[in-house]
Structure 1
Amino acid sequence: MKNSKKFEDYFKDAWPYVVGAVLLSIMQIITLIITRQPWGITSAFAYWGLRLVELLGWSPYSGIRIENTQFFYTQWFLDDPVTVRNTAIILGATLAALLASQFRIKKIKSKKQVLVAAIGGLLMGYGSSIASGCNIGAFYSGIASMSLSGWIFGVFLFIGAIIGGKILIRFFM
């Protein structure tokens, strides 16, 4: 007799990778239909930064040329679809961690850990700037759009993950 799983059995302990991949693909299609743009994350960070310095009283537009300044002047924070999606991702991930009893606030172990995390964050931000997107926008959406750049990004993402893993093992294990 075959051991057949019920639909509910797939969601008892953890989602299989296939379920996650299908759900991500569906979300990519919905995002493309609603916003008429491929899924992206990091473009909102520039928007948030410009809004923040504007709130602090500095004019971020003086001395720099921005192609679409009208967007930044007229659009409210929650009118930006990328900002809304990022906020939903953060809230959804927090809710999922809470529901799975996996939410933890961890103690910082050392100043070295803080320094490496800050350097890593800056490098990731710089990398997403020069790559015109993060792993979602440049890789996932690039491949979904049949772009060669998405595949090239993927190769270097893989190489970077190997190097990063070796650095983590060397300095933190």
Structure 2
Amino acid sequence: MKRLPLAALMVAFFILLLWAVSVRQALLFVIGIGMGAALAGARFGFTTGWRALIEHKDPRGVTGQLVLLALAAILAMPLLANYTELTAALGPPSLSLILGAFVFGLTMQIADGCGSGTLYKAGLGIPLNMGILPLFAAGSFLGSVHIGDWLSLGQTAPVGLVNSLGLEKALAVTLLGLLAILITVRLWVGKHRTWFDAKWLWGALALALLATLNLVVAGQPWGVVYGFGLWAAKIAQSANLFDPTGNFFWGQDSNAQILAQSVLLDVTSITNIGILAGALWISAKSSGNETPLTRQQWLIGLLAGFLMGYSSRLAFGCNIGAMLSGVSTGSLHGWIWIPLAFAGTLIGVRLRRYYGF
């Protein structure tokens, strides 16, 4: 799509939100556009950063991600400590988190994108990610329907570091944890490596600022997965394929209210739409040349996308909701998510290579 008509559509949607919904939703749409532009413009891929580290011992992507986590924590934690109306991205340590994070890390390598990666690459017009997007949503919805059963297998109460340790200690623990990861990466890749890349660094700075704006405007951390599941839930409900009454997840008052409302009132959905728009803006000047996939690669990729959506709900988020938002707002579940997702990625990278992606 050409940039002029795309800009006109974006402005029209912004005016619609401003006029018919709320100033907050209009601002979140703009924030989402910035997120999509930053992700696509910097090619800030959480999936590719991990894969480059494993396959080529290239630490630049992971360094960029660690910078993002550190900046986001430095900005978010003081806000959470001083403004009680803001909420952290808390998830309960549980069997569902352990399994979900592992499967997500595995399948995101085959699908070549996490939650945010699927969004912005779909916006860039990459065929596999465009096909994965609706299946990710279906998987996320099915995971939300089943999450009550998974949690019944074992869980503990969510732990927020800011509340339990206080601001200074929570921030210190977080930064020391990120430093420990950096040292581990240094030991793995060895000497004489390029550690920084300008695109990754400016992408980290932009995303940290935008994630903080999202926290302030939405009152909650940046998330992706919830919006996907909500879209599929609305479709299933409207087709009389799903009754949310009595369901553990959608029967909760807050989720039931969001399901009954217009999707334009959901903060995660609006930022997701903005991410797609921002990536589309970047794609207007990209070549868009992609290597065609075989039928087997399509089937494996689409299945991985569905499982990625399912596991992301079990893990209470993807690289954005669990890792970025979880760690930066002091949730223990974010720290549990990282090593388990990375363990899954170690297998996913090999499966990706096996199937010739």
Task: Tell me the TM-score normalized by structure 2.
Answer: 0.41
Contact 1:41 1:82 in 2 (8 A): yes
CA distance in 1 between partners of 2:289 and 2:280 (Å): 10
User: Where does residue 87 of structure 1 map in the other structure?
Assistant: 273
After superposition, the Cα gap between the structure-2 partners of 1:57 and 1:106, relative to the gap in structure 1 and judged at 3 Å, is: farther
Relative to its length, the structure with more helix (as a share) is 2
CA distance in 1 between partners of 2:350 and 2:290 (Å): 26
2:207 corresponds, among 13, 24, 35, to 24
User: Where does residue 70 of structure 1 map in the other structure?
Assistant: 257
User: Where does residue 154 of structure 1 map in the other structure?
Assistant: 338
Contact 2:258 2:266 in 1 (8 A): no
Contact 2:221 2:321 in 1 (8 A): yes
2:231 corresponds, among 48, 71, 80, to 48
Contact 1:31 1:37 in 2 (8 A): yes
Secondary structure at the counterpart of residue 284 of structure 2: helix
**Alpha-carbon deviation of 1:58?**
4.2
Secondary structure at the counterpart of residue 355 of structure 2: helix
Q: Which runs of 5+ in 1 are unaligned?
A: 1-12
CA distance in 2 between partners of 1:94 and 1:106 (Å): 20
CA distance in 2 between partners of 1:143 and 1:33 (Å): 17
Q: Which stretch shows the higher mean deviation, 110-119 or 84-93?
A: 110-119
**Alpha-carbon deviation of 1:133?**
1.1
Contact 2:230 2:259 in 1 (8 A): yes
Cα deviations by residue, 1:94-141 (Å, 9 ceiling, x for unpaired): 221222x2334764x322112111221122112111101111001100
Contact 1:50 1:60 in 2 (8 A): no
Cα deviations by residue, 1:37-75 (Å, 9 ceiling, x for unpaired): 1110001122111211233244532553410212211x2
CA distance in 2 between partners of 1:58 and 1:161 (Å): 34
Matched, 1:118 2:308: no
CA distance in 1 between partners of 2:287 and 2:344 (Å): 28
User: Where does residue 349 of structure 2 map in the other structure?
Assistant: 165
Q: Give the residue type in structure 1 aligned to 2:227.
A: A
CA distance in 1 between partners of 2:355 and 2:344 (Å): 16
CA distance in 2 between partners of 1:59 and 1:116 (Å): 27
Secondary structure at the counterpart of residue 39 of structure 1: coil
Contact 1:47 1:72 in 2 (8 A): yes
Task: Tell me the TM-score normalized by structure 1.
Answer: 0.81
Q: Which stretches of structure 1, 4 residues or longer, exceed 3 Å deviation after superposition? A: 104-107
Q: Which stretch shows the higher mean deviation, 84-93 or 50-59?
A: 50-59
Equivalenced residue count is 158
CA distance in 1 between partners of 2:269 and 2:290 (Å): 25
Contact 2:297 2:355 in 1 (8 A): no
User: Where does residue 7 of structure 1 map in the other structure?
Assistant: none
User: Where does residue 8 of structure 1 map in the other structure?
Assistant: none
**Alpha-carbon deviation of 1:156?**
1.8
CA distance in 1 between partners of 2:281 and 2:289 (Å): 12
CA distance in 2 between partners of 1:113 and 1:16 (Å): 30
User: Where does residue 141 of structure 1 map in the other structure?
Assistant: 325
Cα deviations by residue, 1:115-172 (Å, 9 ceiling, x for unpaired): 1112211221121111011110011001101222212211122222221111111221
After superposition, the Cα gap between the structure-2 partners of 1:62 and 1:105, relative to the gap in structure 1 and judged at 3 Å, is: farther
Q: Give the residue type in structure 2 aligned to 1:83.
A: S
